[in-house]
Structure 1
Amino acid sequence: MSKIRVVIVDDHAILREGIRALLQLHADIEVVGEAADGRGAIAAVEQLDPDVILMDIAMPGLGGIEAALEINKLGRRTRILILSQYEDREYVRRLLKAGVAGYVLKKSAGSELANAIRAVNRGGLVLDPEVARTAMQDAGQATTGAAVDPYEALTDREKQVLKLVAEGRSNKEVADVLGISVKTAMSHREHVMEKLGVHNRTELVRFAIKKGVIRMDE
């Protein structure tokens, strides 16, 4: 029987090591690679073609949401399973829209994580019970005709730029992380601010925190 090939993505090396050790206890799962951020996750999918990528949300540079958007554009068979300490409604909603196959909290036991990996590999959608409740609450509110979220007016690239700028990255740093020119980075930044109706970085950061794009406790 072929093993489920997994890549672990988290910016904390000790956590990656711990997850690897847990998964090594399961004969049908093989960890074939690791990455420390979203950019590394995208490269790992391109190079290793894993069955499942187990990825954190809150990482420097490209986070889990931004990386998921890019990974799904690759058109690979890789399924994305989010492993996070956060139950934030904004994170859950945006990740589901980004096409992730599951969302498991870090406090889950090792056996639960292994079962989640197996389930998403079979094509299922896996949500931690606490996360599922959050998602259902959000779905209920969505049917009441709530106002359009300005965040959703942004393109995938603009969402990536929003996170990086909110983290305090310069135009050059944004360009380096995304592999684009400084001029293009500046243009994206201007479009983001225009679409969101903000006029300076302070307002942009406030919006990013409110919408769960970045967290003060990261």
Structure 2
Amino acid sequence: MLKTKKIKIIIVDDHTIVRHGISQSFSMEDNFEVIAEADSGRSAISLALLHRPDIVIMDVSMPDLNGIETTQKILANNSNIKVIALTMHAEKVYVMGMLNAGASGYLLKSSSFKELLKCIKMVLSGEMFFCQEVSRLIAGKNGRPVKDKRVSVFSLLSKKERQVLQLIAEGHKSKEIAEKLYISVRTVDVHRIHLKKKLNINNVAELTKFAISEGITSPDF
């Protein structure tokens, strides 16, 4: 008898215990195989290129590169991959950010593993799936999800400006940012000026608040 082809999964979350728990749950199922785990967005992009999974289960707020940008990059490389957000964030800005990036499902971490399995089945059949809390948040008049394409930080800022903004919001000084992004301190300061001008924000506290509201970082990074 031919073996059924297993659904290949990559789990992306910066918390080891979360990845381990999800992976252990999948190990109890016959039809799934966790082929890799990533603790950052950049690692997830590399692993998705290498392993070509069917499903990527993606946290939304992570240091270095958030789930929204990571989803965009993974799907730009391979549009056949299905990305499912699994996060603690129920705010609309996070949901819309992931939907606009191309995610096919959005679950809160309070969801059951059974609901995650249902979500995977739905998205593999070409449908979209949202847990109840998220469905209520984004439902239109007909009850179906409505994408919100209003201008967001991703259309206002360049890639490098978004990276600098995230690192500023996470408390890094200009020298540290320069080292992380392989640019000069002067260039970092120029990006700071551009950020404040584009966003009409004058201090780090407000930049941090903006970054959190747009899903670029989270209060508990």
TM-score after normalising by structure 1: 0.83
Q: Please state if 1:28 is matched with 2:31.
A: yes
Deviation at 1:42, TM superposition (A): 1.1
Match of 2:112 in 1: 109
Gaps of 5+ in 2: none
Distance 1:40 1:151 in 2: 21
Match of 1:14 in 2: 17
Find 1:214's aligned residue among 208, 212, 217: 217
Match of 1:181 in 2: 183
CA spacing shift, 1:55–1:140, aligned 2, 3 Å = closer
Local SS of the residue matching 1:32: strand
Deviation at 1:4, TM superposition (A): 0.9
Given that 1:85 and 1:106 are in contact with CA atoms closer than 8 Å, whether structure 2 keeps it comes out as yes
Q: What are the Cα deviations for residues 127-172 of structure 1, in whole angstroms up to 9, with x where unaligned?
A: 11211111227x88969xx8x5566422444334322221123445
Given that 1:103 and 1:128 are in contact with CA atoms closer than 8 Å, whether structure 2 keeps it comes out as yes
Find 1:70's aligned residue among 58, 63, 73: 73
Gaps of 5+ in 1: none
Distance 2:69 2:147 in 1: 24
Match of 1:154 in 2: 157
Find 1:118's aligned residue among 107, 116, 121: 121
Find 1:127's aligned residue among 123, 126, 130: 130
Find 1:93's aligned residue among 92, 96, 108: 96
Q: Name the Cα RMSD after superposition.
A: 2.8
Query: Which has the higher Rg, Structure 1 or Structure 2?
Result: 2
Quick check: 88-97 or 208-217, which moved more? Answer: 208-217
Local SS of the residue matching 2:9: strand
Percent identity (aligned): 36
Distance 1:142 1:14 in 2: 33
CA spacing shift, 1:142–1:23, aligned 2, 3 Å = closer
Match of 2:51 in 1: 48
Distance 1:19 1:26 in 2: 11
Distance 1:46 1:65 in 2: 17
Distance 2:162 2:203 in 1: 17
Distance 2:148 2:41 in 1: 29
